[in-house]
Structure 1
Amino acid sequence: MIAPRIAFAAFALLMASILSTVHAQDVPGIEICTVEKTMERRTSCLQSNVDFLQKTITKLTTDHQQKLDASNRQIEALKGAVVSLQKVVSDLQAAQSKAADDAKKTTPAAKDAAPAAKDAAPAKDGAK
């Protein structure tokens, strides 16, 4: 019975000491400097704000430049894909027009042969 109480008390003391150190840490960010009384503290506060903003701007600039570079690489890859697809389409169109030309060349000969066959067929029937 006493051991769980001692363990709980030790745990509570440990947590209290951890929480007290957490609250003492300075979290970077924009601070309100008008509440400072002395000029040195106010200047230090403003300088801290300037440093934080400069670091934030630098980080955002780097992030956006990386995104722009990645986008430009993707655009170049897509341009290459479009060029290759345009070549494939032009090759297919050339093959299709050649096939159509070949079909036109063979079609008139077939038409000429068909009437001759019709003429020849009645002649054979009439000859019987």
Structure 2
Amino acid sequence: MICRALAWTMATALLGSTAALAQDVPGIEICTVEKTMERRTSCLQSNVDFLKKSLDKARLEQQQKLDAANRQIEALKTALAAMQKSVEQLQAPPKKPEPAAPAQAAPKDAAKDAPPAKTDAK
């Protein structure tokens, strides 16, 4: 008896799940099969609605991709400008320090030009 109840439950569960699979799936349908004008019109309207939804979804996805690409381009431009600035700084000739050597050379030159020191040796 339990086996029969279990078999009955399994059979109804399997049949119930196939009924769920037979539901109408949104998509393009062949409307020429329909005989009455009302059903044909309904079928065509269903196709139009499906296509509009598909186009709107695709348009939104593409706009999001474009926005992301534009943000990435702006970030890359900023990074490129920073890199170009650092390359210019590296390629620039080093700044020469203020010449401190002539100031030190002046006392040496002064010593050469000065008359020799007189010694009082008589």
Please give the TM-score of this superposition, normalised by the length of structure 2. Answer: 0.72
The whole-number CA distance in structure 1 between the counterparts of 2:3 and 2:77 is 70
The whole-number CA distance in structure 2 between the counterparts of 1:82 and 1:61 is 31
Alignment of 1:1-128 (within 5 A): 2-23=1-22, 25-94=23-92, 97-98=93-94
The whole-number CA distance in structure 1 between the counterparts of 2:61 and 2:75 is 21
The whole-number CA distance in structure 2 between the counterparts of 1:21 and 1:79 is 54
1:47 partner amino acid: Q
1:98 partner amino acid: P
State the match for 1:125 in structure 2. none
**Residue 21 of structure 1: CA displacement?**
3.2
Please give the TM-score of this superposition, normalised by the length of structure 1. Answer: 0.69
- The Cα offsets for residues 66-119 of structure 1, whole Å up to 9 and x where unpaired, read as 00000000000000000000000000011xx227x78xxxxxxxxxxxxxxxxx
- Identity among equivalent pairs (%): 56
Gaps of 5+ in 2: 98-122
**Residue 10 of structure 1: CA displacement?**
1.1
State the match for 1:107 in structure 2. none
Greater CA radius of gyration, 1 or 2?
A: 2
1:9 partner amino acid: W
